[in-house]
Structure 1
Amino acid sequence: MTTFLRLKLAALLLLGTPLAHAQIIVPPTTGKAPDPAPATAPAPAPAPTKSAPYAGGMKISISPDGSKYVRIMTAHQLWVRYNENNSGTLSAEEEPRSDQIDFGIRRSRVLLVAQLNPRFLVVTQLGINGQSTISGGAPGEPTGPGKKPQFYIHDALVEYKVSQYMSAGGGLHYYNGISRQTSFAAFSLITLDVPGVQSPSLDAIDQTGRGIGVYVRGRVKKFDYRLSVNDAFRTNTGSTPATLTTNVAQFNPRSRGKIWQGYFDVELLDKELNLVPFAVGNYLGAKRVFDIGAGFLYHAGGLYSRPTDNPTPQPARVWDIPYNRHDMRVLSADIFFDTPVDTTARNQTAFTVYAAAYDYRMGPNYVRYGGTLNPGTGSAALRGNAVPMLGTGTAQTIQTGFLLPKKLLGPKVRLQPYAGYIHGRYEGLRRTDGRLQDVHILDGGVNVLLDGHQAKITLNYRARPDFTNIDNLNYRPEATMQLQVIL
């Protein structure tokens, strides 16, 4: 290679060629050089000092803006109870039992609320009610009563918002007359449980207070309304004219007409949310609510009675025995007042009161007996903790509670003492001398609020009349502890 070629090759290697990786020479910047990157990662942000407020279940957005969503909630109420039984009660071993301590599941629910758009709403609720070791199961199962209760649908409704003043819907729904507590939110009550007088047709011609039908509801300024018409469920009483007690009405198993009902109220202070049918029991000082309401229920021919003794001989067909049909007419009026009292940070007290009056027209001498999670066995109406719950006549109930100051036990635990009273006067409850015997039931207790209504313990004492001997009533004690959790 010539000297000229060697010099040319050296110049190309120094300057670079199109075949080599090009380098871009950037002149150095003037001034101070930047600081070197930190050797360690930045410290994490401090954890919040308290948990975020509960937002009503888990919300799953199914649209980017969150306008389409599904909200899921689950809730349980567990009971531990001491009960002194009514006279003559038999235990699960079919032996006389004067008292006992028992356990039960008062309610267990799953609720789904779906908003497809601002006009469409879907509500689905499933669950069980009242399971103990002797009640709550399907009768006749090989496993025996109490086991494997049916996990059934409570609510299955679809709703369309017609205008800002009215929505219309249908399905298995909870838009009832006759009072605010007839469509109650079971997990925000003032007292341990509802009084029972608010649901005269419970599980007789409805399903856990729900009916299959259609409804309209809405709000015009301060006036809130709901109206519905449902088919009556076939009653499970299994009676016939031959099995009736003379001149004592029962639900008519041959009545399948419509049930008409409604409830109207005026909201004088804060407006309540009404997306779902469940009426809040108390707000723990979060709102100032003063509502006055009235409602009705009507079911043509819903009850029947036999005016005279069974004929002798009986007709070949029992339904040929003469009987009378009776319309079911129920009216009510109620008042609900819930307000904060002392809003300072150290106190945040609140007061709640609910009162209702009922008038029942359900045929001659009709009386319904019942006991929640009844510990007695057999078919006797007054076994266990049963009382006359309602009947043809009148009833009144009042419940009140006071949220004690926050400074009492600190910010994490709140106490809400409460009291409840039920009075009934029913024409079918008469002493041997013919005088009416009134029903008086007293409840008192305290809600221990660990996280509002979402986690609370309720301690309740009930003084309950034993109607086994109507001429000489004894009051039996019933003490219950309930653990409630909502997620």
Structure 2
Amino acid sequence: MTLKKFKLVLLVAVFCAFKSFAQTTDFKNPSLKYYLNPEKTRFIQFSGYMEFWARYSELNPGSLVNDQPETGVYDFSIRRIRAKMTMRPTENLTVVLQMGPSNVNVNSKSNTYMDLLDAYAEYKFSDYISVGGGRSTWTGLSRFSTGPQATLLYDMPAFATGNAGNTDITLRKLGVYVKGQIGKLDYRMTLADPYTDGSAAAKLNTAVFNTDGAHQLVSGYFKYQFLDKESNETPFSAGTYLGKKKVFNIGIGAEYMNDALWHTTNSGEVVHDAMKNLAVDVFYDTPINRERGTSFSAYAIALKNDYGPNYTRNIGTNNPATGVNADISSFSGSGNSYPVVGTGNTYYAQIGGTLPYFDQEKKGMQLMPAASVQYSEFDRLADPVVVYDAGVSLLFNGHSSKLTFDAQRRPIFGAVESLAQAPEVTAHRMTYLLKYRIDFN
């Protein structure tokens, strides 16, 4: 037998093995899960997904695309690719490996390899306590601080992961965590060795992440589940269950990192600043009519951030710009950036739900409209940051295959000449986005 034929036979055998011990997914297809024992308590499972974006963005003043000034741009990108393996060799031990790039666009010609994301192991002593360690996105603070999963809108709110790239790599950090459920209380606590920004010199009366050795980051999140319990198998929380569960949770979280940032005083003294963040959030998701497929979902959060004096961070998600002309730029930066996180307070709410199935007998496609608003008051800015999102998803197969349209309105803060001036809102820009998500199973 040739090597090529052997590989083909092996592939067919593996597929048949997985199919023999299958569970159904949103596609009603066999999942890629192979049980290692007759009791089906030990297994190896493969999963993954891709998200494609087509977008038109009105760009911030002075934005450059391939060194050319542009006021707006169309672009295509792959927002995320994920390939995941979960193995449970014993009833109490779970090992997770996950790879995949993010933001594969025309600006990432040299960054399209399959990055290592997750590599961690977890031992479950009981429902009350599990202990894990490695590189993962397990963290505290809020419901959506770990990143996206089953989103109500096109993505999770950017401020929820506002430290991305400063203390982590694609939201992942090396560390240990403890989690569990005690009755209706769900908890997680983490201790991580964060990655350092490694490039920011101390600035006058403006905190930035420092280049010193990283201090450990402590975080925790506790939520009380009044109705149906949610799974804590993975660090991710659903944005909506599409009416399959009835959930009402209230959560509280915090994170702390000593000497995470620094700034200089008028006398030239370098002062270190701790990162101290607190959050309280509420999540409600309920069916309205299970037969018709209608449901309602809502989420709200109040977040208090303390990074030190005048800290703000502009973020442009999957930014289409390659640079900015400093002579005519704004405080908001290049492309689709705006002040997402900073020292101050943030309030956010999103609502949405599913409309009746198009075909009641087949329980097929349905629409899911949603909207959100972010309102942030940052110490550095004269005006609040107000960002609106509104969109609708066409669900082909639940969250496993869906097409989402979103329109976002964001503020532009004008340029200032000195720290004595507080940037004001001078204009607004729009982004129109079409996303398709497809799961691999």
Q: Same fold (TM over 0.5)?
A: yes
The Cα shift of 1:465 comes to 1.1
Q: Secondary structure of 2:65's partner?
A: coil
Q: Is the 8 A contact 2:383 2:425 kept in 1?
A: no
Supply the AA of the counterpart residue of 1:305.
H
In structure 1, C-alpha distance between the alignment counterparts of 2:128 and 2:200, rounded to whole Å: 44
1:423 equivalenced with 2:406 (yes/no): no
CA distance in 2, matches of 1:472, 1:459: 26
Match of 2:101 in 1: 128
> Does 149-158 or 75-84 show the bigger shift?
149-158
| 1:486 maps to 2:412 | no
CA contact (8 A) 1:415 1:449 kept: yes
**Correspondence for 1:276:** 234
Q: Which residue of 2 aligns with 1:111?
A: 84
Question: What's the CA shift for 1:86?
Answer: 0.8
Cα deviations by residue, 1:75-129 (Å, 9 ceiling, x for unpaired): 000000011111111111x121011110011111011111122210111111111
Q: Is the 8 A contact 2:25 2:31 kept in 1?
A: no
User: Are 2:253 and 1:291 equivalent residues in the alignment?
Assistant: no
The residue matched to 1:463 in structure 2 has which SS? Answer: strand
1:55 to partner: Cα distance: 7.2
Identity level (%): 31
Runs of 4+ in 1 over 3 A off after TM superposition: 50-57, 407-411, 468-472
Cα distance change of structure 1 residues 91 and 327 upon mapping to structure 2, 3 Å threshold? same
Question: Which protein has the larger Cα radius of gyration, Structure 1 or Structure 2?
Answer: 1
Query: Which residue number in structure 2 is paired with residue 446 of structure 1?
Result: 392
The residue that corresponds to 2:118 in the other structure is: 155
Secondary structure of 1:190's match?
coil
Contact 2:26 2:397 survives alignment (8 Å): no
Q: Distance in 1 between matches of 2:210 and 2:405?
A: 39
Does the 8 Å CA contact 2:49/2:83 hold for their aligned counterparts?
Answer: yes
Match of 1:239 in 2: 200
SS of the counterpart of 2:376? Answer: strand
When normalised by structure 1's length, the TM-score is: 0.79
Aligned letter for 1:418? A
TM-score normalised to the size of structure 2? Answer: 0.87
Mapping 1:13-162, distance limit 5 Å: 54=28, 57-92=31-66, 94-134=67-107, 137=108, 146-162=109-125
Q: CA RMSD in A?
A: 1.9
Alpha-carbon distance between aligned partners in 1 of 2:316 and 2:197, rounded to the nearest angstrom = 19
Alignment partner, residue 16 of structure 2: none
Moved more, 291-300 or 83-92: 83-92
Give the match's secondary structure for 1:412.
coil
| Alignment check: 8 A CA contact 1:454 1:484 kept | yes
What corresponds to 1:19 in structure 2? none
1:399 to 350, 358, 372: 350
- Asked if structure 2 preserves the Cα contact closer than 8 Å seen for 1:255 and 1:301, the reply is no
Deviation at 1:240, TM superposition (A): 2.3
Maintained 8 Å contact 1:86/1:468? no
Instruction: From the superposition, tell whether residues 471 and 359 of structure 1 become closer, same or farther in structure 2 (CA, over 3 Å).
Output: closer
1:261 aligned residue (219, 225, 237) = 219
The runs of 5 or more residues in structure 1 that have no matched partner are 1-49, 138-145, 310-320, 430-435
Instruction: Say yes or no: does 1:355 pair with 2:300.
Output: yes
The 1-side partners of 2:300 and 2:29 are apart by 29
Size of the aligned set, in residue pairs, is 403
Distance across 2 between alignment mates of 1:227 and 1:239:
29
Q: 1:330 aligns with which of 277, 297, 311?
A: 277
2:315 aligned residue: 370
Q: After superposition, what is the alpha-carbon deviation per residue over 1:156-205, rounded to whole angstroms, capped at 9, x for unaligned? A: 11011122310001001222111000124x24100111111112421101
Query: Hey, what's the Cα distance between the residues in 2 that align with 1:52 and 1:265?
Result: 28
Pick 1 or 2: higher relative contact order, CA cutoff 8 A, min separation 6: 2
2 CA distance for matches of 1:53 and 1:91? 39
Partner SS state of residue 69, structure 2: coil
Amino acid at match of 1:167: S
Structure 2 residue runs of 5 or longer lacking an equivalent are 1-23, 327-331, 416-422
- Residue equivalent to 2:185: 223
CA distance in 2, matches of 1:79, 1:393: 32
8 Å CA contact 2:229–2:247 kept in 1: the answer is yes
